[in-house]
Structure 1
Amino acid sequence: MKINHLTSAEENLMRLLWKFGSFYLKEVMEQHPEPKPHQNTVSTYLKILVEKGYLSTEKEGRIFRYQTIVPVEEYRKFLLTQLSDHFFSGSGKEIVSFMIDEQIVSEDELRDLNINFDTEQKKEPEFEYANEILNPKKDKKKSKDKKKKKKKE
């Protein structure tokens, strides 16, 4: 699923829409915090969000029912990946270091996470063709050995 960038206004509206999941324009207008935008403005934003692939519509009589398509978790992942790639060379270590330096997160908070990393080594693939794909150097050695044997014969 390709995720497109949102403007600040679109993102603010999406935060409200993610809480609904499925909704009508009327519900958005009722729940929108003050100062409430004009209904035409919200309707335009909903149309843009449909075009960007964040919402889908289903016509029910004369009105549309909207449904969020992109989950908030996917959008968070997209934003964090973009941030990481553009400002931290794709390094999670650099992000965490920056967050500690800027006092966004403390070392104690990191310790409180009790992150358990699986230190078990992954098992070798059971299928021979998987070994050939994953370990091509081993196969080259075998083929060289076979060629040497043929030459000796």
Structure 2
Amino acid sequence: MKINHLTSAEENLMKLFWKLQSFYLKEVMEHHPEPKPHQNTVSTYLKILVEKGYLSTEKEGRIFRYSVIVPLEDYKKFLLKELSLNFFNNSGKEILEFLFNENLISQNDLKTYFDLKIEMKPVKIKQPKLEYAEEILNPKKDKKGKDKKKKKKKNEN
């Protein structure tokens, strides 16, 4: 089954639909949080989501009953794969590094989930060399001796 991209509005409605699983338009309007969209707007989105393959319809008299076809877990997998491909060079390692750097996941999270002995070592940042500051703070004593030798060589020539 090919999963298509959703707009943010479609995704927000799908979050409600994944909770309901099977529903009528009237139930969507009842369960939608405030501010509620107009019924025609919701009806249009339902039609679009049926066309995109996220919902199916079953006619019951004069009304339609909608059912979710694409499970939430499949949509999450789709989004994560797209994110990985487009932003992390299709690398799980890069995703994990990003999650650690942004403090979205911790070492303890991984330990409890995988039950592994993982030790994260802090990244060592190389201290910049401050050559000029070193010269000023710790002047070399040999400089004067070198200057005298240079003068002697010049005088000899």
What's the TM-score, normalizing by structure 1?
0.74
Q: Secondary structure at 2:80's aligned position in 1?
A: helix
What stretches of structure 1 move > 2 A for 4+ residues in a row?
A: none
Q: Which residue of 2 aligns with 1:108?
A: 108
1:60 matched to 2:67: no
What's the TM-score, normalizing by structure 2?
0.72
Give the partner amino acid of 2:19. Answer: K
Give the drift of 1:77: 0.2
Q: Secondary structure at 1:36's aligned position in 2?
A: coil
Q: Using the TM superposition, name which of 53-62 and 103-112 deviates more.
A: 103-112
1:37 matched to 2:37: yes
Give the drift of 1:114: 2.6
Q: Secondary structure at 1:56's aligned position in 2?
A: strand
Give the partner amino acid of 1:91. Answer: S
Q: Which residue of 2 aligns with 1:9?
A: 9
Matched residues in 1 for 2:76 and 2:21: separation? 16
Q: Secondary structure at 2:114's aligned position in 1?
A: coil
Q: Percent identity?
A: 72
Q: Which residue of 1 aligns with 2:70?
A: 70
Q: Which residue of 2 aligns with 1:145?
A: none
Matched residues in 1 for 2:58 and 2:67: separation? 8
Matched residues in 1 for 2:110 and 2:81: separation? 20
Q: Which residue of 1 aligns with 2:99?
A: 99
Aligned pairs, how many? 116
Matched residues in 1 for 2:33 and 2:21: separation? 17
Q: Which has the larger radius of gyration?
A: 2
Matched residues in 2 for 1:65 and 1:110: separation? 42
Q: Which residue of 2 aligns with 1:132?
A: none
Indicate the RMSD between aligned Cα atoms, in angstroms: 0.9
